[in-house]
Structure 1
Amino acid sequence: MTTPLPLAPDLQDRETAFSFISRLAAMNGVDTAGFCTDMGLPFSKVIDGKPDALARLADLSATDVEDLRRWSPRYLGNREHEFRGNRLHAKAIKESTVRGCPACLREDTEATPGRVEGGMYIRGHWLFRPVTLCLKHQHPLVPLWTEANVSRRYDASARLAEISPAISAGNLDKELRAPNPFDEWIEARLAGTPTESWLDQFDLYAAAHFCELLGRAIWAVRFPKWKKFGPERAWMSFEMGFRFATTGETTVRDTLMQLQETIGEPTDGPKKKYGALYDRLAFDLLGEAYAPFRELLRDHIASTWPLGPGDDLMGEPVLERKVHSVRTAARELGMDPRRLRKLLVDIGLVRPAETGRDDQWELFDARAAQPHLDRINTLVSAKDFQEALNMSRSQFELLRKEGHFPPAIDGGDHKPLWDVRAAHLHLESLLTGAEPIYVNMHGWDDIPTTAQSLKV
């Protein structure tokens, strides 16, 4: 068993292992890299939160190993980490910029007078990208340093020593802001405290990232130049998305619907309307953790967007149309949208133009409407109907008077229309059992001539 070092700091609340070993080295008067080499303890393994490295560090400092693990990210491989029971991509927990709260760091120095940089330490929750505020001081987390080299980046004591004058002078201080519900939700999730949010059922970072993407889409409506928001305003996207997502799927769907009706035209497509929310879920965020949000967006678009074969939905071709708009149906039928809408109103599929939505967003179920559209596609005027059945106007009027060939559509503010297909079926029923002939023979006449000669 390793004998603990006589000089060792106390592990502080939420302190990471890399911060602690850096302070341990500083207390013993050596740099972190040299200290780790002397102790046979690779600093890279401490940074990665490897169990054997943390156990060795715990022995050297007489510290509880579970306390060391509690707020230290553990590398799992393939750029993924485990943190507070959550599986996170490196972008969520190991960015090249280390952030922190200057007010917390000043408190650290006040607690250790005469040893300014040695008293300051890095809290684990500061590493988590969705955390943007210190709830204790209501101070935004600010960039402390940016370093590409991993060993230098996490040598906390050395880096804090470099910026300690700026911290003490208040040069890193920013305007305070009150915590919002997203800040409080993230804190509760990291602390392991359940909340009443609909998002609690999902992976923490996937849920937070979804809030951010949804928030960015909403800000695109309210603030056209939202893309120019700097990192210091990232909290605005998280907060905005959380506001609409926390209450449940219905609110999310309502929000998506409002976005697609507000931004541009339906012909712009979901990619243009939803921006990064669509792009990231469709092409980048393909892991299992994002599956619920991906399916929610896909189902919403398929159910509320007039997409058909030939269109693309989240990187996959649309094979079957689920929803028609007046505009898409008119295009498929080759009809004027105004005329088609009147016909659809008469059969109760859509609302009148005065009370409904624009033709591009007046939607109806494509499968349920198909029989009606098939009929509409064969409807013709009286003149065209007579020509199609090779009958005179007078004969047509006589047949109508006797109850034959009623119009398929008759009402509203448009002319009656007849279904040629139904008329042919009616005639065929009259000829049940008859034998058709294809060349005129002596004594044979067509129906109109026979009817005329018989005065019927």
Structure 2
Amino acid sequence: MVRLAHVPDLAKTEAFQSFLPRLAAVNGAASLQEFRRHFALKSHQSSASKELISEISRLTGISESILDAHQLLNVSGHGQLGHAKLRWSNLHTTSARYCPICVQNDYLSGSDRRDARPWVRGGWYGLNNYVCVEHSVELFTSPIPYSAANRWDFTSHLRENPRELDEAARSAKSHDPLPYDVYFDHRLTRNVESVQLLDPLPYHIAYSLCELLGQMKLLGNSPHTVDAAPARMHDARCVGFDLLADRGKLLQFLDELRGRHLARIKTSSRYHVYGPFQRYLSQLLQTPGARPLIDLVREHAMSALPIGPNDDFIGGGGCRKWHTIRTAKLEYDIDPRLMRKLLIERGLIGDGEAISRDNHILIPADKVQELASYCQDGVDLQYVRETFGILESTARQLVNAGIISPLYGSSKGIKAKFSRTAIDATLRDVLSGLPERNEDGNLISLVDATRLGGRSVSNLIVAILEGRLPTRFLTSRTDRTGFMRLLLDPTEIRAEFVKPVGIKRHEFTAIFRFRPLEGDKFFYSKFFERSRETSPTNHREFDVVTRGSLERFQQVHVSLAALSKGRGRPVDVKNMLNEAGINPVWEIKGRRALTFYKRSEVEEFLRSLA
């Protein structure tokens, strides 16, 4: 097997296409074309065809896998995924592109033939690379294009144009490498500093994102595009890299883009929030490594916009944070008019916002989900009546007593709805576990219990639910439902509802035989103690006079009518007491039964007369 006598070292980022001219030069060939002809390498095929790689492997002893790994697209970072046009559009192969300082240093080092020493770094082909990181100078692009005969032959180009290298070295512009330059140079040599959002992405997609974001940042709201000059494009890529390398800066820029979107007068259900950046991310849905960046951008948008996981926004997914009335209608089938009323009732929007369009009203997603559950669980008062087996008026009394609270509808203009779950649970908690029994004299129904002291069915149900009235049995009658099946003990009903109470105003008036409007002043006088009691029927509070204070008043005082019995006319008795200096403690002119004296003073005076 024929093996070449001289084989130069294959550099780490050297392309197979640029290795061939060095291989030809080190073995004495005048050009790459002559080398291919000499070894009958088919020139009509691609310079990186499998057949050519196989032949070069046979001539050099370098394995085919190593040579194939040094394809131009691989060593320049463009070999990972992507469309062929996308990858080749960024590669400069029409003329020589190099760092003159690197080439001069190559001439001074190495053991190969002198004109075979310079080798083309993979990063020199990429237009996204503008600076030589090793020597801090701008890359030089030769104005002399390759011909069909010397395509890829960098060695021949340097040999035929020696003055170009000298002039390029003298005029090389100093350019300090920026973080963008260092990162993408090191990615080719596998010596990378970690950038969380860019590391998982293919090389050509990573710098394309930098370029796109940088252009958007530099342009702002301008409709123009960034100048395509290499220096301006390099500036844009550096700006974009700074954004993608710092999550805080990226989020700040996304805030700016989102703010522009929210400030638009025109709205639509399709959210084009981040412009070209969003469209490019939508093309990367199947790209391995793009998911962290896509998720970051989507979550940023969803944190302020009513975007759901099923919406076609950069592939969908995520967790919804906001709803509009329109999206709530689509997802939960809530009537928009009812939704507006509920939002006002709960204080989530003001009255002024209620007239806004459906797409303009933003509501937190958890609040909408809560309202949707209320709407699905809500039932009207008729359901309460049928479930509890009571009259509608009784059901309203239970609502007024606070035993049943509406889920919504407490404000004007909304029909009150109650929780089906809570109503069923209330009835189940009371009736579960109770045995059935026929009615007899020892147990009575709720209707009979109202006559015994409960006054109303609602009072009895309230007492049962509050634990003040125990339940014992259920009736076996099938015509009763809900609470009306309960059987109660009369003794327990009397103990709860039949209690001594104070004297009400109308009872007080009847005791002293006051005429209308005469008794209130005496009722509220200092002679009696009063307390507040609550009506078991309408649950309103009222004043009563305690029986003890009334009894004490009657024991300590005596009326003029009682004194006059057997002693003459009341007017004569009154005059006699006045002459003795004994005055009444309470007097209504012309009413001897309502003129009172202290019993002790009067009895002492009468004893003195005897």
Query: What is the distance in 2 between the residues matched to 1:191 and 1:222?
Result: 38
Unpaired segments ≥5 residues, structure 2: 354-358, 379-395, 428-457, 459-479, 483-537, 540-610
- How is 1:220-235 mapped onto 2 (pairs within 5 angstroms)? 220-221=219-220, 225-235=224-234
Partner residue of 1:240? 239
- How is 1:97-176 mapped onto 2 (pairs within 5 angstroms)? 97-98=92-93, 100-104=97-101, 107=104, 111=108, 121-128=119-126, 130-144=128-142, 153-159=151-157, 165-170=163-168, 175-176=173-174
Q: Note the C-alpha offset of 1:207.
A: 3.9
**Greater Cα shift, 275-284 or 287-296:** 287-296
Deviations 1:332-358 (A, max 9, x none): 7546999887556559xx9x99xxxxx
Letter in 2 for 1:281: L
Letter in 2 for 1:123: R
**Greater Cα shift, 26-35 or 147-156:** 147-156
Partner residue of 1:55? 57
The reply to whether residue 187 of structure 1 matches residue 188 of structure 2 is: no
Partner residue of 1:421? 417
The secondary structure found in structure 1 opposite 2:364 is strand
Q: Note the C-alpha offset of 1:134.
A: 0.7
Unpaired segments ≥5 residues, structure 1: 60-64, 354-358, 380-396, 435-454
Deviations 1:7-44 (A, max 9, x none): x8776785433323224545735332232121234565
Is the 2:303–2:321 Cα contact (8 Å) retained in structure 1?
Answer: yes
Letter in 1 for 2:124: W
Query: What is the distance in 1 between the residues matched to 2:89 and 2:158?
Result: 18
Q: Note the C-alpha offset of 1:322.
A: 2.4
Query: What is the distance in 2 between the residues matched to 1:151 and 1:290?
Result: 41
Partner residue of 2:382? none
Deviations 1:47-70 (A, max 9, x none): 4687534434536xxxxx48x958
The reply to whether residue 74 of structure 1 matches residue 71 of structure 2 is: yes
Query: What is the distance in 2 between the residues matched to 1:424 and 1:191?
Result: 68
Letter in 2 for 1:52: S
Is the 2:13–2:76 Cα contact (8 Å) retained in structure 1?
Answer: no
Q: Note the C-alpha offset of 1:237.
A: 3.8
Is the 2:195–2:245 Cα contact (8 Å) retained in structure 1?
Answer: yes
Partner residue of 1:448? none
Partner residue of 1:382? none
Is the 1:97–1:147 Cα contact (8 Å) retained in structure 2?
Answer: no
Query: What is the distance in 1 between the residues matched to 2:413 and 2:149?
Result: 80
The secondary structure found in structure 2 opposite 1:225 is coil
Provide closer, same or farther for how the CA distance between residues 55 and 95 of structure 1 changes in structure 2, counting only shifts above 3 A.
farther
| TM-score after normalising by structure 2 | 0.48
Provide closer, same or farther for how the CA distance between residues 2 and 291 of structure 1 changes in structure 2, counting only shifts above 3 A.
farther
Is the 1:36–1:42 Cα contact (8 Å) retained in structure 2?
Answer: yes
Deviations 1:266-324 (A, max 9, x none): 736777432332222323663334344445444554565313599532367x9x99243
Query: What is the distance in 1 between the residues matched to 2:114 and 2:269?
Result: 56
- How is 1:162-311 mapped onto 2 (pairs within 5 angstroms)? 165-170=163-168, 175-199=173-197, 202-205=200-203, 206-221=205-220, 225-247=224-246, 252=250, 255-263=253-261, 265=263, 267=267, 272-283=272-283, 286-298=286-298, 300-301=300-301, 304-307=304-307
Q: Note the C-alpha offset of 1:123.
A: 1.6
Deviations 1:194-252 (A, max 9, x none): 4243247514414444444444444453765344444443333433333233355x775
Partner residue of 2:80? 87
Is the 2:107–2:115 Cα contact (8 Å) retained in structure 1?
Answer: no
Letter in 1 for 2:54: D
The secondary structure found in structure 2 opposite 1:87 is coil
Q: Note the C-alpha offset of 1:187.
A: 2.6
Provide closer, same or farther for how the CA distance between residues 426 and 101 of structure 1 changes in structure 2, counting only shifts above 3 A.
closer
RMSD over equivalenced CA pairs, Å: 5.7
Partner residue of 2:371? 372
Report the structure number with the largest CA radius of gyration.
2
Deviations 1:348-397 (A, max 9, x none): xx9x99xxxxx95956225x522325758999xxxxxxxxxxxxxxxxx9
Q: Note the C-alpha offset of 1:135.
A: 0.9
Letter in 1 for 2:57: A
Partner residue of 1:393? none
**Greater Cα shift, 226-235 or 324-333:** 324-333
The secondary structure found in structure 2 opposite 1:100 is strand
| TM-score after normalising by structure 1 | 0.61
Q: Identity across aligned pairs (percent)?
A: 19
